[in-house]
Amino acid sequence: MTDKIVFRLVAGITVFVCVVVFILSLKVIPVPNPIPAFVFQLPKLNAFINGTCSLLLIFSFYQIKQKRNIQLHKKLNLAAFGLSSLFLVSYITYHWMAPATSFPKENSLYYVYIIILVTHIILAAAVLPLILLSFYRGLQNDVARHRKLVRWSFPIWLYVTVTGVIVYLMISPHYNFPQ
């Protein structure tokens, strides 16, 4: 596969995911009635997945930097990638079916929450192509280009997974559905 095809594929996947998330945020797609009970457990699952991904990314970084254990580094990153893919499906399902929840403006942490949420959302969208290209370069054993990409993708991906947990912990007391 040529780089040109890979870049087009990465761009297509990124645009597709962003468009789907945007459309779901508009709440224009019909929701099943009643909403399946499992949907209300998805935020907890998403926070767990994000936390697990954070640990996997940190351990992967340690394995490559301190131990030079390339095989374990690859396995840990593939696990983080797989979990992040599962997260994406769960996130899309939740935001399609569940009612929107707002953080109360009168809460003293409102602006902290908004800053964390906005940076989390923007960087989650921005990191997707970086992650995909980092994986491509790593799996192609193109170490020099992989390292250049990972200088950006690793800290952003880690930030997104950590702030995903923080956003859940901050918003979860305000959910208005059965937990």
How far apart CA 21 and CA 72 sit, in angstroms, is: 33
Mean of the pLDDT values across residues 170-174? Answer: 97
CA distances to 56, 81, 128, 135 from 12, rounded to whole Å, are 27, 18, 11, 16
Rounded to the nearest 5°, which phi and psi values hold at 58? -65, -45
pLDDT in tens, 151-162: 999 999 999 999
Q: The CATH number of the domain where 101 resides is what?
A: 1.20.120.80
Asked, for residue 62, whether it belongs to a domain, the answer is yes
CB of 174 within 8 A of CB of 104? yes
CB of 159 within 8 A of CB of 118? no
The residues, any chain, with a CB within 8 Å of residue 137's CB and separated by 6 or more, are 143, 145, 146, 149
Q: What percent of the chain has pLDDT over 90?
A: 93
- How many structural domains compose the chain? 1
How far apart CA 41 and CA 171 sit, in angstroms, is: 14
Q: What mean pLDDT, rounded, does the chain reach?
A: 95
Q: What percent of the chain has pLDDT over 70?
A: 99
Asked, for residue 73, whether it belongs to a domain, the answer is yes
Residue type at 86 in one-letter notation: L
pLDDT at 25: 83
Say yes or no to pLDDT of 179 above 60: no
Q: How confident is the model at residue 27 (pLDDT cuts 50, 70, 90)?
A: confident
Residue type at 45 in one-letter notation: L
Instruction: Name the residue with higher pLDDT: 136 or 27.
Output: 136
What number of other Cβ atoms are within 10 A of residue 151's Cβ? Answer: 11
pLDDT at 4: 96
Full domain range(s) for residue 29: 3-174
Q: Which of 23-37, 76-90, 110-124 has the lowest mean pLDDT?
A: 23-37
Asked, for residue 148, whether it belongs to a domain, the answer is yes
Asked, for residue 179, whether it belongs to a domain, the answer is no
